[in-house]
């Protein structure tokens, strides 16, 4: 079968390569991949992984072979899943607890935007507890995770301040943000929950705006900058606040169930997904360039057919 594997002698460090078929464990289903979406973290991995390594985490497709232990969906079922790697391939072995069945009416492209970005949004917000009536600050709000965070917070009754460029103002308000500010310095706190993906000075300003006993969830550092952190940043005025790091791969089990809950919201028309770019996987160079240049808001989807 074919896969997009890292190749250092290729201009984009990726090459369509013939590889062996996956070997299945008893609790794994074989999924024929129809589409995948790109995540910003994969850009970094392309630069550091060795030749032959296969990227790809978001996958949607059909169950081609059901799990031998009887768990999971039957052959022919449309599914979405989050895998740690090797998603940019024609077929992937997936543990059945990472699979979710696609409801009728939810397209492959729409579902492909959810596994990493959607579960990251859902699980980072859980660190804030009951969000009803709470003030929530979201940095990097125009990105895929931020867009889902805004919507999910709004659905729970939270009050969102989003940090994003002014051109995203109308769009993010339409998703449920009460306020959109161009810089975190313009955000008026305090906030019981802050989701922070920029780092550097953005994280420093987040600490200044967290409520006593509140939580800052750090799940990225797009600025690439470090933040000096000291006790006196929290005392006085922010006593009891905590910094919580988040990475999906250490965030616990039940990924499949979380994807299923997000898909149910999409099917009910309560959660918007945005596919900004769709290209065949042979055209991945175009999608990677657009992602690097931040030239779209939403997700880039690769089709494997």
Q: How confident is the model at residue 213 (pLDDT cuts 50, 70, 90)?
A: very high
pLDDT value at residue 296: 83
Tens of pLDDT, residues 141-198: 999 999 999 999 999 999 999 999 999 999 999 999 999 999 999 999 899 999 999 9
pLDDT value at residue 230: 86
pLDDT value at residue 36: 96
Tens of pLDDT, residues 73-105: 999 999 999 999 999 999 999 999 999 999 999
Q: How far apart are CA 98 and CA 257, in angstroms?
A: 8
pLDDT value at residue 248: 82
pLDDT value at residue 5: 96
Q: How far apart are CA 149 and CA 164, in angstroms?
A: 13
Predicted structure pTM score: 0.95
Q: Does pLDDT of 293 surpass 90? A: no
Beta strand residue intervals within the chain, DSSP E? 2-6, 14-18, 28-37, 58-65, 78-82, 91-95, 99-101, 135-138, 159-163, 177-181, 191-196, 210-218, 242-245, 275-280, 299-303
pLDDT value at residue 295: 80
Nearest-CA neighbor of 51 among 98, 118, 3? 3
Structural domains in the chain? Answer: 2-117+253-303 (3.90.180.10), 128-245 (3.40.50.720)
pLDDT value at residue 100: 98
pLDDT value at residue 51: 94
Mean pLDDT of 196-219: 96
Q: How far apart are CA 91 and CA 268, in angstroms?
A: 29
Half-sphere CA count of 208, side-chain side, radius 13 A:
12
Q: How confident is the model at residue 49 (pLDDT cuts 50, 70, 90)?
A: very high
Give the mean pLDDT of the chain: 95
Q: What is the DSSP letter of 234?
A: T
For residue 121, whether the previous peptide bond is cis, meaning omega lies within 30 degrees of 0, is no
Among residues of the chain, what percentage have pLDDT more than 90?
Answer: 85
Q: How confident is the model at residue 4 (pLDDT cuts 50, 70, 90)?
A: very high
């Amino acid at each position: 079968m074919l896969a997009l594997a890292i190749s250092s002698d290729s201009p984009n460090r990726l090459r369509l390569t013939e590889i062996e078929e996956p070997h299945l464990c008893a609790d794994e289903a074989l999924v024929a991949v129809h589409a995948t979406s790109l995540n910003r973290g994969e850009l970094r991995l392309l630069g550091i992984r060795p030749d032959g390594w296969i990227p790809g985490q978001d996958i949607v497709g059909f169950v081609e072979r059901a799990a031998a232990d009887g768990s999971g969906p039957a052959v022919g079922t449309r599914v979405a899943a989050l895998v740690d790697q090797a998603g940019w391939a024609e077929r992937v072995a997936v543990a059945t607890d990472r699979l979710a069945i696609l409801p009728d009416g939810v397209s492959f492209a729409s579902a492909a935007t959810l596994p990493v970005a959607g579960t990251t949004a859902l699980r980072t917000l859980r660190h804030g507890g009951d969000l009803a009536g709470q003030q929530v600050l979201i940095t990097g709000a125009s990105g895929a995770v931020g867009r889902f965070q805004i919507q999910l917070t709004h659905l729970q009754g939270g009050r969102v301040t989003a940090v994003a460029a002014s051109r995203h103002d109308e769009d993010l308000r339409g998703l449920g943000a009460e306020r959109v500010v161009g810089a975190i310095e313009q955000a008026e706190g305090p906030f019981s929950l802050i989701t922070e993906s920029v780092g550097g000075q953005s994280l420093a300003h987040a600490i200044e705006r967290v409520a006593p006993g509140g939580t800052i969830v750090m799940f990225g550092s797009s600025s690439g900058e470090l933040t000096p952190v000291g006790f006196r940043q929290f005392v006085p005025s922010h006593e009891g606040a905590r910094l919580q790091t988040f990475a999906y791969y250490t965030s616990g089990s039940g990924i499949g169930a979380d994807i299923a809950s997000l898909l149910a919201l999409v099917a009910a028309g309560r959660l918007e997904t945005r596919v900004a770019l769709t290209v065949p996987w042979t055209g991945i160079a175009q999608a990677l360039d657009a992602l690097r240049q931040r030239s779209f808001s939403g997700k880039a989807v690769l089709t494997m057919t």
